[in-house]
Structure 1
Amino acid sequence: MSRSRTEAAVDAWEALFRSQVTLMRRFTAEDIWKPIGVREYDVLFTLSSSPTRALRLHELNEEILLSQPSLSRMCDRLTAMGYVVRQSDPSDRRGTVICLTEAGADLQRSIGRKHATQIARLVGGALDEVELAELDRLCTKLRRTQAGLRNTQAGIE
């Protein structure tokens, strides 16, 4: 008896989710994150990936798996440590953007090099080049499809 499309989707999701949980546990078990944690690093990485190294809180929140109040408090802590600053949005002075500082960029690069080594060892060590390319393609397709659905549902084209 063949599986239904729903069963196949559930099985694929569970495999993706469980592998991500397993990898995150392995990543966080290693002592490369000091003086911040994995979630703080994710904020610095997301800001460093932005062309302006600055995002509004709601834009940052779209990329981070935290509630907006938790993200706001985290940005306050990162500000106190000197890794980000809050500034007026140059395109709309009524708004505020979270900006990566040079100290934040330096820390992100330092931790990022160590994290890239982890990724190469744990992900690259488990999959060959063809599998890595396929995983990238599938995850990118899944993310873009869901982002497109979210934008369509919000009335954004």
Structure 2
Amino acid sequence: MNAPDGTAEQIAALLDVLVRRQRRAAKTDLGDGVTHGRVRALRTLDHADRPVRLSELATLLDIVPRSATSLVDDLEAAGLVARRPDPNDRRATLVALTPAGTTLLTTIRRNRRDAMVTLLDRLTTSEQTTLHDLLTRLAAD
């Protein structure tokens, strides 16, 4: 059964509102320099669970290598990532989170979780379970 176009558009708009709220909440008290792109890069490095080459980071972020270089320049200047030579290829550079980058991600995740808890408090436990189940189904590949 297909959703009517109007319903699909309304759901998309509501999801956009919630995503913007989450992003805003995640950055609470962190300053203007914490952009979505920078947070995405930090999360990607965290999920990699190892230092990655700049070219690999660009691929993971689906951006051109030059943009990845600029992004890493900004993150390095903020003390959130560090570059080091790749021991297996002296032409390549590895990028890894610094302790400050890890701390920032922890704060962002806590802020995001707290904001979601506040939103979900509007729903009953049963409604929260239903929402979780529906979102899980929609997010499945």
- For 2:79, which of 79, 82, 98 is the aligned residue? 82
Equivalent residue letter for 1:103: A
- Per-residue displacement from partner, 1:75-123 (whole Å, max 9, x unpaired)? 1011011110122234544322221011111111122211122234446
Q: Secondary structure at the match of 1:86?
A: strand
- Per-residue displacement from partner, 1:118-146 (whole Å, max 9, x unpaired)? 234446866622431342343241xxxxx
CA distance in 2, matches of 1:12, 1:92: 53
Equivalent residue letter for 1:72: T
Q: Secondary structure at the match of 2:109?
A: helix
- For 2:16, which of 4, 15, 21 is the aligned residue? 21
Kindly indicate whether the alpha-carbon contact (under 8 Å) linking 1:89 and 1:95 is maintained by their aligned counterparts in 2. Answer: yes
CA distance in 2, matches of 1:93, 1:13: 51
- Provide the TM-score with structure 1 as the length reference: 0.63
> Where does structure 1 differ by over 6 angstroms across 4 or more consecutive aligned residues?
10-13
Closer, same or farther: CA 77–135 of 1 in aligned 2, 3 Å: same
Question: How many residues get paired?
Answer: 135
> Is 1:34 aligned to 2:30, yes or no?
yes
CA distance in 2, matches of 1:98, 1:34: 22
Q: Could you say which residue in structure 2 is the equivalent of 1:135? A: 135
CA distance in 2, matches of 1:29, 1:134: 24
Kindly indicate whether the alpha-carbon contact (under 8 Å) linking 2:38 and 2:75 is maintained by their aligned counterparts in 1. Answer: yes
Q: Aligned Cα RMSD in Å?
A: 3.4
Kindly indicate whether the alpha-carbon contact (under 8 Å) linking 1:124 and 1:132 is maintained by their aligned counterparts in 2. Answer: no
CA distance in 1, matches of 2:36, 2:88: 31
Closer, same or farther: CA 122–39 of 1 in aligned 2, 3 Å: farther
CA distance in 2, matches of 1:65, 1:125: 36
Closer, same or farther: CA 55–33 of 1 in aligned 2, 3 Å: farther
CA distance in 2, matches of 1:89, 1:15: 48
Consecutive unaligned residues of structure 1, counting only runs of 5 or more, are 142-157
Q: Aligned residues: percent identity?
A: 27
Instruction: Using the TM superposition, give the Cα deviation of residue 14 of structure 1 relative to its aligned residue in structure 2, in angstroms.
Output: 5.3
CA distance in 2, matches of 1:46, 1:124: 30
- Provide the TM-score with structure 2 as the length reference: 0.69
Kindly indicate whether the alpha-carbon contact (under 8 Å) linking 2:79 and 2:101 is maintained by their aligned counterparts in 1. Answer: yes
